[in-house]
Amino acid sequence: MSKYLILSEPIKNMPWQDRELGSKAPVWRYAFNPIVKRNPVEGIARIFNSAVVSWKDGTFIGVFRAETVATLPHLRVGRSDDGIHWIFEDHQLQMVDESGKSWNPYYAYDPRVIKIDNVYYVVWCTEAHGPAIGVAKTTDFKTFVRIENPFIPFNRNGVLFPRKINGMYKILSRASDNGHTPFGDIFLSESPDLVYWGKHRHVMERGGNGWWQGLKIGGGPAPIETSIGWLMLYHGVANTCNGYVYSMGAAILDINEPSKVKYRCKNYILTPEMPYEETGFVPNVVFPCATLHDPLTGRIAIYYGAADSYVALAFTTVDILVDYIIENHESVGRDSELGK
Ligand code: BMA
């Protein structure tokens, strides 16, 4: 029985590997990373920052960020029996509007998939006269119905919470610019219907005492509901003389008022160290977009993009990660406030 509880549906057949004996790492990599390698499908050069969920009969399904050999990012559905070996569809994910008419973005990247009340929502960075957040819903991963974009450009890293909080849908996002955004904090907005969004709140600021998240931060996988609060994994970016370095961070948000940060880990929990993270189309990138988490075992599998070239997998447990965050907590700026 774990010390902290994960509050979600159990996952059958969860991908897993134990931490090495004697290791104190809060998060450890799958020994056979990367799980998706270069040129995984004809005409596709790279698949990386991607989202997976558990699917029927112990299988898994996901929406992947794929880039063609002409380097245009789009979304693509993949299926897996074990969460590790993936088979991708031979065509781009197709979207329609609510009347059934085709409505596909010119480009699409960094998807997250969040299940709320038996509907799966895909949230991604879409073209809308500049990068903005797109949302589409599906129940079968065949028909994807796009709904309104929550915000005007420029905004990225949209992540829905997996349930309504105080009767409202909630989304994390990060205001950005049209390029490689040299700034950015995480914000929260709410909506009664996934169409009208407001009550914008500041959640967490870049910075803190360490430089790994000094330039900007952005939401990662859908926050995980636990008995101590929302466990939020995110990416933090350092600005170096040789370019940006993307690491993975973790914080715990208040369960009823998630714009309040309860604990924030001053250390990264994963940073580029392996050849597939340090070398690739964009070097030094660890970019988490999804987790599988099992309440019965407390196990968490983290899917992350590596070097904008591969999909990789890492593991932790709710007890190991929450204890690590609390032991290494730092209070930053006005993070613990309501963020009004
Ligand atoms: C960000 C996003 C991510 C990418 C990262 C590093 O701005 O575009 O998709 O992984 O840059 O290139």
Q: Which of 127, 176, 180 to mutate to test the pocket of ligand 1 (most atoms within 8 A of CB)?
A: 180
CA 95 – ligand 1 centroid, Å: 23
Task: Look at residue 250 and tell me whether its pLDDT is greater than 80.
Answer: yes
The CA–CA distances, whole Å, from 335 to 55, 321, 322, 338 equal 36, 20, 18, 8
Compute the distance from residue 3 Cα to the ligand 1 centre, in Å: 35
Residue 193 CB coordination number (10 Å): 10
The answer, yes or no, to whether any atom of ligand 1 lies below 6 A from the CB of 287, is yes
- Please tell me the residue having the least CA distance from ligand 1 atom 10: 308
Please say whether the beta carbons of 160 and 114 come within 8 A.
yes
Q: Is the Cβ atom of 124 under 6 angstroms away from ligand 1?
A: no
What DSSP string runs through 111-129? EEEEEETTEEEEEEEEESS
CB 40 within 8 A of CB 69: no
CA distance 68 to 39: 9
For residue range 294-329, what is the model confidence (pLDDT) as tens digits?
999 999 999 999 999 999 999 999 999 999 999 999
Query: Environment class of residue 168 by beta-carbon count within 10 Å: exposed (0-12), middle (13-18) or buried (19+)?
Result: middle
Give the closest residue (by CA) to ligand 1 atom 3: 110
pLDDT at 172: 98
Mean pLDDT of 142-149: 98
Tokens of 58: 């112990």
pLDDT at 1 over 90: no
pLDDT in tens, 42-95: 999 999 999 999 999 999 999 999 999 999 999 999 999 999 999 999 999 999
Atom nearest to 180 CA in ligand 1: 7
Q: What is the pLDDT of residue 288?
A: 98
CA of 230 to the centre of ligand 1 (A): 24
Please check the confidence at residue 2 and state whether its pLDDT lies above 90. no
Place of tokens 């996934």: 194
SS3 content of the chain, % helix, strand, coil (to 5): 5, 45, 50
277 CB near ligand 1 (under 6 Å)? no
How far is residue 41's CA from residue 66's CA, in Å, rounded to a whole number?
A: 9
